[in-house]
Amino acid sequence: MGDAVVLYGVNSVFWSVVGALSNPLILVGTLVGLALLSTAGLVAARRWGWRPVPAVLAGASLGVVLGATLSRTRPDYASMTGANELSNVLLLVPLVFFAILATRKPLVVLVSAIGLSVVIELLQVVTNRGVCETQDFLNNSVGAAVAAAVAATLISRFPGRTAESASPDPERHGANSNASEADR
Q: How far is residue 129's CA from residue 114's CA, in Å, rounded to a whole number?
A: 19
**Three-state DSSP state, 1:** coil
Instruction: Determine, yes or no, domain membership for 174.
Output: no
Instruction: Determine, yes or no, domain membership for 167.
Output: no
Give the model's pLDDT for residue 78: 44
Instruction: Determine, yes or no, domain membership for 110.
Output: yes
CA atoms within 13 A on the CB side of 60: 12
Q: What residue numbers bound the domain in which 88 lies?
A: 2-74+81-159
Instruction: Determine, yes or no, domain membership for 91.
Output: yes
Please give the full DSSP string across 74-126, using - where no structure is assigned.
PPSSS---THHHHHHHHTTHHHHHHHHHHH--HHHHHHHHHHHHHHHHHHHHH
Give the pLDDT of the chain (184 residues) as one tens digit per residue.
566 655 555 666 666 667 666 777 778 878 888 889 999 999 999 999 999 999 999 999 998 888 878 776 665 444 445 557 888 899 999 999 999 999 999 999 999 999 999 999 999 888 887 778 889 999 999 999 999 999 999 999 988 754 444 445 444 444 444 444 444 4
Instruction: Determine, yes or no, domain membership for 172.
Output: no
Q: How many separate domains does the chain show?
A: 1
Full-prediction pTM beyond 0.95? no
Instruction: Determine, yes or no, domain membership for 182.
Output: no
Angle between helices 52-70 and 24-48 (to 10 degrees): 150
Contact yes or no for 133/79 (Cβ under 8 A): yes
Instruction: Determine, yes or no, domain membership for 179.
Output: no
Instruction: Determine, yes or no, domain membership for 169.
Output: no
Contact yes or no for 132/121 (Cβ under 8 A): yes
The residues, ordered by sequence, that sit 6+ positions from 111 with a Cβ below 8 Å of its Cβ are none
